[in-house]
Amino acid sequence: MTKSRLILFSLVISVAALFISGCDDSSEERSREVNQDKSIKKYDLVWFDYVNDSESDSAPEMKVSYMENGKQKTKTFKKYVENVEDIEQPYMKIRDDKAFIYRPPYMKYDQEPLEGVVKDKVEQKSSDGK
């Protein structure tokens, strides 16, 4: 490979790496901006779930349930950002048609072990009758 081709190849790789790394920052930046904006209302998050469509290759929609004025509401969002933070109570914010979910990690490695007693156990039967 000639020296000029090697330089051109290096330049193309560098530009591609810069472009790819810049894509993730914009989502994080918008999420940080929304979290700091006190004018955007904060809602207690009840639950959220991804609505997968096996026919589509696009990102799944997110169905979210949240509390608004003491009532539970459910809404589906095509645009969303999920933020994992070290918080106790999950919440969400909505800006335009985009949901920003702020939730604690599913598992913390430094959490205390759970202890308890099983009082009642019901065995589930499978749907195929076996």
Quick: pLDDT tens for 39-87. 788 899 999 999 887 677 777 889 999 999 999 999 999 889 888 888 8
Query: Which residues are bridge partners to 44 per DSSP?
Result: 67, 91
64 assigned to some structural domain: yes
Burial zone of 2 (CB within 10 Å; 0-12 exposed, 13-18 middle, 19+ buried): exposed
In a domain, 122, yes or no: no
Q: Which pLDDT belongs to residue 22?
A: 47
Range of the domain at 16: 3-103
pLDDT at position 27, please? 60
Provide mean pLDDT across the span 13-24.
Answer: 54
Residue 119 lies in a domain: no
Per-residue tokens: 121: 């156990």
- Arithmetic mean of pLDDT, 96-117: 83
Determine, yes or no, domain membership for 99. Answer: yes
Whether residue 24 is contained in a domain is answered as yes
Residues 6+ apart with CB under 8 A from 111: none
Q: Does residue 20 lie within any of the structural domains?
A: yes
Q: Which residue has the tokens 């998050």?
A: 45
Number of independent structural domains in the chain: 1
